[in-house]
Amino acid sequence: MSKIDVRDLHFSYAKGPEVLKGLDFSLDGRSCALVGQNGAGKTTFVKLLKGLLRPSSGSILLDGRDIAGSSVPELARHVGLVFQNPNDQIFKNNVLDEVMFGPLQIGMGEGEARASALAALELVGLSGHEAVNPYDLGLSDRKMVSIAAILAMDTDVVIFDEPTIAQDHDGKERLARIVRDLSCQGKVVISILHDMDFVAQTFERVIAMAHGEVLLDADPRSVFSQRDVLERARLEQPTTAQLCHALGYEELFLSPQEFVDFYRSQHGSHA
């Protein structure tokens, strides 16, 4: 199983104010959601993980080895990052070539890359679209192409930047399955998210960031129970939790199903 150690990580752009103020934690097989207001430093952090930015001080260790010694293309074998906007990467004329680009770049053979790409497309639900031009697909499917392009590279670490954008219910369900699958395979899965319902139902760990610092770092239930802290960081609870709080319930419910189960146990199944 892979592991990332973040040690006293500081970062600032040029002469600007400090964006990350001493992050210190480890990321392991538990799928992890990174939440926080815009400007909290989430994207900066994942760019540091990917080597696209270099820390002002502190270090990031991937399986015990400092990533400072590796170039971005070298790191690409180990760390995959799905960018927010699929249009930032798509350039091939058909979906299969686009998904095979990454695997080929990191040194997979043609056959292996093809097999890996087909498997990834199956996973994101785009089997049968191999020959389609990515720009003929809608935004949500194009986003899935960009996700498949990273999955096909079979990296130990997979990072998503806002994967739920433009996804409908089915798309989100599929994403949740992918996250759980990757996590089961022992990969480190990190995702930047604003959709708290999706976070609560999919991830095993939540790191809430504010102003370049970690505010909360625990399982979703513990994090979302800290209503006051979340409010100060301008973060919201999952909708069910908000609704039940407004209705005066003391308990925390992360999903509608949780509340329904609770309600039924209190009032009998006919309610």
Partner 1 sequence: MKSISLFEEKHSFLNGLSPETKLLYVVVAIAFPALVGGTVPQLAIMLLSIALLAGSKILTKSKPIIAVSGFVLLTVVIVQTFFRGGAYTELFRIGPLVARREGFDYSLGIVLNVFNIIFAFCVFVLATKPSDMMQSMVRRGISPRLGYVFVSLFQIIPQMTEHTSTITDAQRSRGMQTEGSLGTRVRAFLPLISPVIMSSFTDTRERSIALEVRGFNSHERKTFLDEFVPSSADRPVRIALLALLTLGVAFFVLRIVGVVSWPR
Q: Which of 3, 7, 21, 77 binds partner 1 (CB under 8 A)?
A: 77
Interface with partner 1 by CB under 8 A: which range of 28-36, 149-157, 187-195, 225-233? 149-157
Measured in whole angstroms, the distance separating CA 120 from the mean position of its chain's CA atoms is 17
Q: Which of 90, 151, 179, 233 binds partner 1 (CB under 8 A)?
A: 90
In this complex, which beta carbon is closest to partner 1, that of residue 88 or of residue 250? 88
Residue 106 as a binder of partner 1 (CB under 8 A): the answer is yes
Q: Which of 40, 48, 62, 101 binds partner 1 (CB under 8 A)?
A: 101
- Determine contact, residues 254/262, Cβ cutoff 8 Å: no
Residue 81 as a binder of partner 1 (CB under 8 A): the answer is yes
Binding to partner 1, residues 4-63 (CB under 8 A): 47, 50, 52
Query: In angstroms, what is the C-alpha Rg of the chain?
Result: 20
In this complex, which beta carbon is closest to partner 1, that of residue 88 or of residue 228? 88
Sign of the CA dihedral running 79, 85, 87, 92: positive
Tokens encoding 187: 């990969």
Binding to partner 1, residues 181-220 (CB under 8 A): none
Q: Shortest gap between Cβ of 67 and partner 1 (angstroms)?
A: 13
In the DSSP assignment, the letter for residue 87 is G
Supply the DSSP string of 108-142, one letter for each residue.
Answer: --HHHHHHHHHHHHHHTT-TT-TTS-GGGS-HHHH
- Determine contact, residues 117/153, Cβ cutoff 8 Å: no
In this complex, which beta carbon is closest to partner 1, that of residue 39 or of residue 135? 135
Residue 135 as a binder of partner 1 (CB under 8 A): the answer is yes
